[in-house]
A and B are shown apart, each in its own frame.
Chain A
Amino acid sequence: MFTNVCFCLGLKMVQVAEGCPKHSVLICVLFISGKSKEAEIKRINKELANIRSKFKGDKALDGYSKKKYVCKLLFIFLLGHDIDFGHMEAVNLLSSNRYTEKQIGYLFISVLVNSNSELIRLINNAIKNDLASRNPTFMGLALHCIANVGSREMAEAFAGEIPKILVAGDTMDSVKQSAALCLLRLYRTSPDLVPMGDWTSRVVHLLNDQHLGVVTAATSLITTLAQKNPEEFKTSVSLAVSRLSRIVTSASTDLQDYTYYFVPAPWLSVKLLRLLQCYPPPEDPAVRGRLTECLETILNKAQEPPKSKKVQHSNAKNAVLFEAISLIIHHDSEPNLLVRACNQLGQFLQHRETNLRYLALESMCTLASSEFSHEAVKTHIETVINALKTERDVSVRQRAVDLLYAMCDRSNAQQIVAEMLNYLETADYSIREEIVLKVAILAEKYAVDYTWYVDTILNLIRIAGDYVSEEVWYRVIQIVINRDDVQGYAAKTVFEALQAPACHENLVKVGGYILGEFGNLIAGDPRSSPLIQFNLLHSKFHLCSVPTRALLLSTYIKFVNLFPEIKTTIQDVLRSDSQLKNADVELQQRAVEYLRLSTIASTDILATVLEEMPPFPERESSILAKLKKKKGPGTVTDLEEIKKERSSDMNGSAEPASVNASAVSTPSPSADLLGLGAAPVTNSAPPPSSSGSLLVDVFSDSASAVAPLAPGSDDNFASPDLASSEVVSEEPADTVHDADELFHKFVCKNNGVLFENQLLQIGLKSEFRQNLGRMFIFYGNKTSTQFLNFTPTVICSDDLQSSLNLQTKPVDPTVDGGAQVQQVVNIECVSDFMEAPILNIQFRYGGTFQNLSVKLPITLNKFFQPTEMSSQDFFQRWKQLSNPKQEVQNIFKAKHPMDAEITKAKIIGFGSALLEEVDPNPANFVGAGIIHTKTTQIGCLLRLEPNLQAQMYRLTLRTSKEAVSQRLCELLSEQF
């Protein structure tokens, strides 16, 4: 039936007879006929103008019209258009006594209001009134609004009030449920504002509530709170176990409407099992026994025939099962249950439901890391390999790759690597790079025989050369250089591989490098004589990119040393116009310099300069670091990071392209990464980086690379005078002062001098509490002349802006001679961050314009709160964070004398608690703390193991978030 001719948003409507028979719905022509986007925008703009004029008109609108227009705005917004007015009208609706008006007002605010401080105050007032109204419907609306907006301002206003509503005896069940989840939401955004107190024990007892809806909501709240305050909610464990036990043993009809497709209370079961995962296995044997019974019952039920053919039934049942398995894995203490879980997952691996196969693969990955079930997981290897070959969905195949990686050990590494290589030939482009990294890691980790390793990597390059990143081929070179038993084999193998008519450029790089170093080992064979080797490499030269050609030129000069008999051939090549007059400066320079070197240097000098590369210092595999990165959050930024790190974080300096401008201008090829720079000194590791170029970063371990802060490391803490002498910049520059040393100094302390030159001194004083901080910056005019137009600005990059909230007030633009002005920066840490903000200062001094920038030492560790814990707790948590993504490790040379007391002071200054008598080795240092950000709290554990003999440290960070582990590790590594 159609009765009305409607105009919606001023558009003509037509009726759609079929498609929606039960409503006589008239639909905008626009939506159905697909009129142009422009027409839609035009109509909507017209309607917006109309509503705007109504709101601005002289006549006061009645509640009904106000509601109507606010509703229209919402509708337009939901169509995907921007709405920038009507907020005030919506707020007015909140105070209406009519339910529908209030409701639309709240909806508009929930959907459209961000924390706009002016409005929030008005909204909060209306909410306050509704919460006090004792009308459950109005209270519900108000609580929903708080939960929907969930801003800090709201938390400030209501975080104290809501727990009272939650535990009050006379609160209706539905309001209790809303209050519990509302509190949960506020706790997630602003945990510091939700005060713990008497109410917590009463909330725990909600687990016993008669109303299952209340229990469900309360369990969510308790789980969230217990993650951060396990002690406070410890009593919930036994209550949760008995509740769970009652559910799993109930008949499917017992729970009435809470039974979902014959599964009793699946949501509540899942939530209870989640809650139990916040704790270690219960200590009370009775509780523990009861829980084991529950878990067994759940596993048994999985074997029973289904009570319904509907997918909802099996999904709900399996949801509970998977959560139970997660708990079993989390406890990691009952070998029997672990093996049963593994068998159950094994069945799912061949299930016809894609979803189940996916989840089984995923869940087995974690099971593989338990010592009790690792062997059981391994028995499924054939099924998993089969999944890799036959699954039609790439996301499932991805899981299969992950599982193979997780179940790999020395016994099956050869098979798994071979299968992965096989799969790589046809793998989806989206996951090729990851597979390449995984193969490279496994091949290295489980290589008994390094010839196998070399073969595998060369195979990788052959099959998926484009996806072999620099890290992978740097690594193979590092390993070959460090292990002399494999060098001859490697030279022979690359020589053979290079015979192929078309080989990947990465192979040319590896081949060039290895032959340059070890070509002599195969030169005795007439089939690979020096000339043949040279001709083979040179036959690829013209097909390669500039960086590869640069590398090959270095190989040639190495050949001059290795094989004096082909020196003239090589000189001829270097002398040719295509080299000496190459348009590329880098190539031209290398040709000129190498030619000259080969002509004038005596054989002794040549032999010294072109000596074999010294072994690389052992560090964490860069490939592993890359894989960790790749799997981490925020892929876009990560890519950037990887790019950045390519130049700075390589363990090996095999990268030919990183010869930078300053190196090029040096008269000798001292910065050449083929090791020429390292040659003038003895053959021992680590190679010093004399050129002061990128190499400084590459070998940041080596003592000479980083200018030490001061001879005595305790100066590092207390002496502002020292700081002032560090950076003396005669001409204020417009680039960032790279006062990294000074910056690092502030990582472990809050006060001191940040910068000083002849004109200006900048001092800092700061304090931090949870995710908030305040920094006082003091600008001292050291001259007797006024500074004019003095404008300091704090600059955050786009990335940083979203995670760090900084507020500053402008300072007086005139600073008298000898005077000091002060500026306050209010700091809020929204989420974890990597970079530091930049402080830019501009002023006029005696007619010249001064412009300088320094990094402001606001670092992630400032938002640490120390946490004390027992040895047992520490290692329990340590174990929980065993996922490779969560751990970051760095091994580095001590830059300061290794004094235990100073180290302790630094760890405390860093912000974490220093845990005594936790590590079995008393020489080690262990710390724990929580990083507070507005959005989350991240628990962090750290362990520092000094090695006095080697004068090195190993630092390990484990946190729940990879980026945080990474950042903290970087920051702290600089301190010792």
Chain B
Amino acid sequence: MRFMLLFSRQGKLRLQKWYLATADKDKKKMVRELMQVVLARKPKMCSFLEWRDLKVVYKRYASLYFCCAIEGQDNELITLELIHRYVELLDKYFGSVCELDIIFNFEKAYFILDEFVMGGEIQDTSKKSVLKAIEQADLLQEEDESPRSVLEEMGLA
């Protein structure tokens, strides 16, 4: 996988993960271009499209688009299920996840993704293993300090 993007129906980027070093300027351009393409597509259309020299696999969950760019040889359907598995993980962790969870607990969304996918390849497909890793990290955090969400910390600024 080359990169993964999460963005909203309104075209706000919520999460971006690049698995190949890309210049900031190019990143911005690609994100803008790809959002435009994907948002313009109708609901019943197929989830795959050719874009530049990549294949794009996307799926919409409520107001959020999950969008992966993969290479020509990669398997589209399994990528589609990779997206689904990630959503399941988020859902399990946050308890019916919504866009706001991802906005305000963005660091968690990143950590979960990191535990799940690394260097563009899936690291562990077991839901249990991934969540266990995250929970362990959370435990460490509690040892560190009483838990405060990022938002609360920001609120105290």
Rounded to whole Å, the gap between the CB of A921 and the closest CB of chain B is 33
When the two chains form their complex, are residues A72 and B157 in contact, meaning their CB atoms are under 8 A apart? yes
Rounded to whole Å, the gap between the CB of A905 and the closest CB of chain B is 36
When the two chains form their complex, are residues A212 and B155 in contact, meaning their CB atoms are under 8 A apart? no
Chain B residues with Cβ below 8 Å from A181 are 118-119, 121, 123
When the two chains form their complex, are residues A98 and B144 in contact, meaning their CB atoms are under 8 A apart? yes
- Please, what's the 1-or-0 string for B72-114, where 1 marks a CB less than 8 Å from any CB in chain A? 0101111011101100000000011010110110110011001
**Does B133 sit within 8 A of A, measured CB to CB?**
yes
Chain B residues with Cβ below 8 Å from A398 are 50
Chain B residues with Cβ below 8 Å from A98 are 144-145
Which of A267-275, A504-512, A543-551 lies at the interface? A267-275
Rounded to whole Å, the gap between the CB of B111 and the closest CB of chain A is 7
Q: Report if A114-B107 is in contact (Cβ < 8 Å); known contacts: A174-B133, A185-B118, A632-B53.
A: no
C-alpha spacing A81/B104, complex, angstroms: 16
**Does A634 sit within 8 A of B, measured CB to CB?**
yes
Rounded to whole Å, the gap between the CB of A926 and the closest CB of chain B is 26
Chain A residues with Cβ below 8 Å from B47 are 354-355
Which of A311-319, A521-529, A593-601, A612-620 lies at the interface? A311-319
Would you list which residues of chain B between 30 and 48 have a CB under 8 Å from chain A?
Answer: 42, 44-48
Which of A8-16, A650-658, A787-795 lies at the interface? A8-16
C-alpha spacing A99/B145, complex, angstroms: 10
When the two chains form their complex, are residues B107 and A151 in contact, meaning their CB atoms are under 8 A apart? no
Chain A residues with Cβ below 8 Å from B145 are 64, 98, 100
When the two chains form their complex, are residues B150 and A71 in contact, meaning their CB atoms are under 8 A apart? yes
Would you list which residues of chain A between 265 and 305 have a CB under 8 Å from chain B?
Answer: 265-268, 270, 274
Chain A residues with Cβ below 8 Å from B77 are 315-316, 318-319, 322, 355, 359
Chain B residues with Cβ below 8 Å from A213 are 123-126, 129
Chain A residues with Cβ below 8 Å from B101 are 20, 23
Rounded to whole Å, the gap between the CB of B19 and the closest CB of chain A is 7
- Please, what's the 1-or-0 string for B126-140, where 1 marks a CB less than 8 Å from any CB in chain A? 111100010011001
Q: Interface residue tally of chain A, by bracket? A: 35 or more
Would you list which residues of chain A between 612 and 648 have a CB under 8 Å from chain B?
Answer: 632-635
Which of A163-171, A389-397, A558-566 lies at the interface? A389-397
When the two chains form their complex, are residues B95 and A137 in contact, meaning their CB atoms are under 8 A apart? no
When the two chains form their complex, are residues A266 and B49 in contact, meaning their CB atoms are under 8 A apart? no
- Please, what's the 1-or-0 string for A314-330, where 1 marks a CB less than 8 Å from any CB in chain B? 01101110110000000
Q: Report if A323-B144 is in contact (Cβ < 8 Å); known contacts: A107-B107, A185-B19.
A: no
Chain B residues with Cβ below 8 Å from A78 are 13-16, 106
C-alpha spacing A182/B118, complex, angstroms: 7
Rounded to whole Å, the gap between the CB of B132 and the closest CB of chain A is 9
C-alpha spacing A4/B149, complex, angstroms: 13
When the two chains form their complex, are residues B118 and A144 in contact, meaning their CB atoms are under 8 A apart? yes
Chain A residues with Cβ below 8 Å from B137 are 99, 103, 137
Provide the main secondary structure of the chain A interface: helix
When the two chains form their complex, are residues B157 and A68 in contact, meaning their CB atoms are under 8 A apart? yes
C-alpha spacing A23/B103, complex, angstroms: 13
C-alpha spacing A615/B86, complex, angstroms: 62
Chain B residues with Cβ below 8 Å from A110 are 110, 114
Rounded to whole Å, the gap between the CB of A628 and the closest CB of chain B is 13
**Does A588 sit within 8 A of B, measured CB to CB?**
no
The contact of A147 among B118, B126, B128, by CB within 8 Å, is B118
Q: Which residue of the partner chain B has the closest CB to A98? A: B144
The contact of A257 among B16, B48, B128, by CB within 8 Å, is B128
Q: Which of B24, B42, B103 has the most CB of A within 10 A?
A: B103
Q: Report if A216-B81 is in contact (Cβ < 8 Å); known contacts: A107-B110, A137-B136.
A: no
Q: Which residue of the partner chain B has the closest CB to A5? A: B155
When the two chains form their complex, are residues B119 and A147 in contact, meaning their CB atoms are under 8 A apart? yes
Q: Which of B14, B16, B157 has the most CB of A within 10 A?
A: B157
Q: Report if A258-B126 is in contact (Cβ < 8 Å); known contacts: A188-B20, A354-B46.
A: yes
Chain A residues with Cβ below 8 Å from B49 are 395
Chain A residues with Cβ below 8 Å from B151 are 6, 8, 25-26
Rounded to whole Å, the gap between the CB of B52 and the closest CB of chain A is 6
When the two chains form their complex, are residues A270 and B121 in contact, meaning their CB atoms are under 8 A apart? no
C-alpha spacing A358/B141, complex, angstroms: 46
Would you list which residues of chain A between 1 and 55 have a CB under 8 Å from chain B?
Answer: 4, 6-10, 13, 19-20, 22-23, 25-27, 31
C-alpha spacing A823/B100, complex, angstroms: 57
Q: Report if A319-B81 is in contact (Cβ < 8 Å); known contacts: A20-B100, A25-B151.
A: yes
The contact of B78 among A114, A257, A266, A634, by CB within 8 Å, is A266
When the two chains form their complex, are residues A268 and B125 in contact, meaning their CB atoms are under 8 A apart? yes
Binding site for B on A (CB under 8 A): 4, 6-10, 13, 19-20, 22-23, 25-27, 31, 64, 68, 71-72, 74-75, 78, 80, 98-101, 103-104, 107, 110-111, 114-115, 137, 140, 143-144, 147-148, 150-151, 174, 177-178, 181-182, 184-185, 188-189, 212-213, 216-217, 220, 256-258, 260, 265-268, 270, 274, 312, 315-316, 318-320, 322-323, 354-355, 357-359, 392-393, 395-396, 398, 632-635, 802, 935
Interface pairs (23), CB distance under 8 Å = A7-B157, A8-B151, A9-B154, A20-B98, A23-B100, A99-B137, A99-B141, A103-B137, A107-B107, A137-B136, A143-B118, A178-B118, A181-B118, A188-B119, A189-B21, A316-B77, A322-B75, A323-B75, A355-B46, A355-B76, A358-B46, A632-B53, A633-B53
Q: Name 8 extra pairs, CB < 8 A, besides A274-B73, A354-B46.
A: A4-B152, A9-B154, A78-B14, A114-B21, A181-B121, A182-B119, A257-B126, A359-B76
